[in-house]
A and B are shown apart, each in its own frame.
Chain A
Amino acid sequence: MSGTIIITGNHAVSYGAWSSRVRFVAAYPITPQTTIVEMLSDFVNTGKMKAEFMTVESEHSAAAAVMGAESTGVRSFTATSSHGLLYMSEVVHWIARSRLPVVMVVVNRAIAPPWSIWTELLDTMTHRDAGWIQVYVSNNQEAYDMVIQSYRLSEMKRVSMPTMICMDGFILSHTFAPVTVHTPEETDEFLPSYSPLWKIDPENPFSLGNMATPDYYYEFSYLMHEAHENAKKLFNNVDKEFERFSGRSHGGKVHGYMLDDSESVILAMGTLSEEVMVAIDNLRKRGEKVGALKVRLFRPFPAEEISKALEDKEFALILDRSLSYGYEGQLATETKAALHTSGIETPVINMITGLGGRDVTYKEIEKFHGLAKKKVSSEKGPFKPIFIQLKR
């Protein structure tokens, strides 16, 4: 029977893997991901989960072992964070280029030096182009739900691409909240058993990944792009079907908040977007017509939905918890490109916030909005990113 339990974001993820009937897990510990795999190890050892748990010697091998198991047609899972993701980076690309619908949770954490264990999105941002579907979640229930939904979407034959679920370290990973959890038997209704696009089978031998000349390689990449286009089309359907199954929807590719009559919009990803919504409530009380857009899907990028949400607005404020050194925040870059493609001229102010886990409170966000509004009304642009929390 489904039930509601009070668990951390990490344990929500472990339950998600359990509900999804994951058969193979290989993982390597790293703060703040560790408790995900500790719980999975426990599930496997107590027989709660009928799966194998492989205690590999590194993240490179974790991803490699998962690639091996998934190649045989077995639903596989791993989780990592920051340096672990960077260390497995080579295999991250290999999994996508092998068109294997693996699901991996990355607990976002800043990159050293200096050592930091707190959240920042640069680790997953640097894997934006690795071919994985990327979803950013902002609460424990969403983390749980997205594990199940991601297997559903990734394993669709028109997609057959892996999904990376990104969630803020500590803010989600170690914070308790109520989560409604479904048994594997219940979940079967939403998530069918895995029927792979291809698998390794001595009855039907073929070579995978041998050298392809420039005559062929281009098409491999195009097919990955096409798969992403399909994922983009199917993403909201999966959300709807999941709603029919569980009664919960997270809004699809983007989740708009008080957008209809808003004059300005604040965009953010991950837990930052929850904080933004609190700020919106307060700003509204003061008569400010402001709305929020939580960007849930980052690859494939929901350019059309974002453009539509920002059309005719006075300005957009984009809060990035990540920075592409020498330019700006990644969500800002992507959003501006989307607007340009649609011929929309809504001014965009980008603020770099929360790097290395620096706290970003709703009170600050209210101030950020005021500053952005002033800037847009008094200056013509172009607007450079603002390092709004920089101590001078």
Chain B
Amino acid sequence: MGKEIKTVKDIPLQELLLPGHVACAGCGMAISVRHVLKILGGNTVVTVPACCLSVIQGLFPKTAVAVPLKNVPFASAAAVASGLKAGFRLQGKELNVVAIAGDGGTYDIGLQALSGAVERGEDIIYFCYDNQAYMNTGIQRSGATPYGAWTTTTPKGKKERRKDLGLMMIANGATYVATVNPSFPMDFYGKFLKAEEKKGPRVLIGYSVCPPGWRYTPELSIELGKLAVQTGAWILWEFEEGVFRFTGYSKRLAEGKAKRKPIELYLEPQGRFRNVLRDPEKLKALKRGINERWRVYRKIAEVYSSSTPG
């Protein structure tokens, strides 16, 4: 509240994800969780369903998380968060209740609970770190796995497109919906600060690299996140009070101030897209899918533009 983060130097020094967590090197989720906790600070309670984050906290009786954290069943993050918030509200306690879940716990098994919480207008922050597969159980496809990507259950590449959670959340009536990407930390911080100041259900969806799951080497993690946005494979945007906005580099792309880099630059470092790169038909389909997303989002931006009356 009242916090301002204008440059990287303003990022709080306090670490609430402590050294000693056991995430893989280059894990996008660990980077994101570190940022999220820095922004929200110590007056925060976190709930986590089954996912990589439930493991990387470390083994009992130790923990690498310095705020209260309750691990909960896979499908239940949004519902437990609702109950936690109600419990604190009943005692007149003002604090951030945040659910942090993977894409499996959000797009798939936890979608019903999330949809219910958003519909009820629960005063919670929900952060989905989207690493685009079930990583904890060893890289199986999820509803968020992109077209063409290899997983252990899509050995020839996924045939279907991924769900669009952001659009679902807008339609569902969330107060604030945004996509973030830790390769763009200022955009990331700005959106979480906004989220913290708002009331009601706030859903943030985070692009979240995973070196072992995506089959690339960890030193590329930040670079890959940049390429995802620069090639248009991941779109940065936010939706608040009936207004949709592209943000950061995606805004420049949307306004025609920059040109999307060739998608191959994003796909090539990742072993999971090998099948796509080998097959021109698949590559074409993947590109079509990205263009389609952009077309949809441009329309959404038009419909929910700031100039739209009422």
Query: How many A residues, CB 8 Å from partner?
Result: 43
Cβ-based interface call for A202 (8 A): yes
CB neighbours of A24 from chain B (8 A): 83, 86-87, 90
Chain B 40-53 interface 0/1 with A at a Cβ cutoff of 8 Å (1 = within): 00111101000000
- Are A210 and B68 within 8 A (Cβ)? no
CB neighbours of A234 from chain B (8 A): none
- Are A68 and B79 within 8 A (Cβ)? yes
CB neighbours of A211 from chain B (8 A): 54-55, 57-60
- Are A200 and B70 within 8 A (Cβ)? yes
Contact of A72 among B43, B54, B76, B91 (CB under 8 A): B91
Majority-rule SS of B interface residues: mixed
- Are A216 and B70 within 8 A (Cβ)? no
Cβ-based interface call for B138 (8 A): no
CB neighbours of A90 from chain B (8 A): 73, 75
Q: Which of B42, B70, B84, B95 has the most CB of A within 10 A?
A: B70
Cβ-based interface call for B33 (8 A): no
CB neighbours of A57 from chain B (8 A): 112-113, 115-116, 119
Chain A 64-98 interface 0/1 with B at a Cβ cutoff of 8 Å (1 = within): 11111111111010000000000000110010001
CB neighbours of B42 from chain A (8 A): 202, 205
Q: Interface with B: A48-56, A117-125, A346-354, A379-387, which one?
A: A48-56
Chain A residue nearest to B57 in the complex (CB): A210
Cβ-based interface call for A208 (8 A): yes
**Given the contacts A57-B119, A68-B84, A200-B68, A73 and B91 also touching, CB distance less than 8 Å:** yes
Shortest beta-carbon contacts, A-B, top 5? A68-B83, A72-B87, A57-B116, A65-B83, A61-B79
CA of A290 to CA of B119, assembled, Å: 58
Chain A residue nearest to B78 in the complex (CB): A61
- Are A65 and B79 within 8 A (Cβ)? yes
Chain B 106-139 interface 0/1 with A at a Cβ cutoff of 8 Å (1 = within): 0000001101100110000000000000000000
Size range of the chain B interface in the assembly? 35 or more
Cβ-based interface call for A46 (8 A): no
Q: Which of B67, B84, B93, B120 has the most CB of A within 10 A?
A: B84
Cβ-based interface call for A212 (8 A): yes
- Are A68 and B47 within 8 A (Cβ)? yes
- Are A65 and B80 within 8 A (Cβ)? yes
Chain A residue nearest to B99 in the complex (CB): A68
Chain B 65-109 interface 0/1 with A at a Cβ cutoff of 8 Å (1 = within): 111111111011011111111111111010100000000000000
Cβ-based interface call for A207 (8 A): yes
CB neighbours of B65 from chain A (8 A): 207
- Are A67 and B63 within 8 A (Cβ)? no
Contact of A207 among B57, B75, B88 (CB under 8 A): B57
Chain A residue nearest to B96 in the complex (CB): A202
- Are A205 and B67 within 8 A (Cβ)? yes
Chain A residue nearest to B119 in the complex (CB): A57
CB neighbours of B93 from chain A (8 A): 72
CA of A342 to CA of B55, assembled, Å: 45
> Would you give the shortest CB distance from A268 to chain B, in whole angstroms?
35
- Are B83 and A210 within 8 A (Cβ)? no
CB neighbours of B54 from chain A (8 A): 210-211
- Are A208 and B70 within 8 A (Cβ)? yes
- Are A210 and B80 within 8 A (Cβ)? no
> Would you give the shortest CB distance from A166 to chain B, in whole angstroms?
23
CA of A209 to CA of B82, assembled, Å: 19
Cβ-based interface call for B19 (8 A): no
CA of A26 to CA of B63, assembled, Å: 30
> Would you give the shortest CB distance from B97 to chain A, in whole angstroms?
8
- Are A60 and B57 within 8 A (Cβ)? no
- Are B68 and A64 within 8 A (Cβ)? no
Q: List 27 A-B contacts (CB under 8 A).
A: A24-B83, A52-B89, A57-B119, A61-B79, A61-B82, A61-B116, A64-B72, A64-B113, A65-B83, A68-B70, A68-B80, A68-B86, A68-B87, A69-B90, A71-B84, A72-B84, A76-B83, A205-B42, A205-B68, A207-B63, A207-B68, A209-B71, A211-B54, A211-B57, A211-B58, A212-B60, A213-B60
- Are A208 and B69 within 8 A (Cβ)? yes
- Are A26 and B83 within 8 A (Cβ)? yes
> Would you give the shortest CB distance from A336 to chain B, in whole angstroms?
35
Cβ-based interface call for A201 (8 A): yes
CB neighbours of B310 from chain A (8 A): none
**Given the contacts A52-B86, A66-B83, A71-B70, A60 and B76 also touching, CB distance less than 8 Å:** yes
> Would you give the shortest CB distance from A218 to chain B, in whole angstroms?
12
> Would you give the shortest CB distance from A74 to chain B, in whole angstroms?
4
Chain B residue nearest to A55 in the complex (CB): B120
> Would you give the shortest CB distance from B15 to chain A, in whole angstroms?
13
Contact of A64 among B69, B71, B83, B120 (CB under 8 A): B83
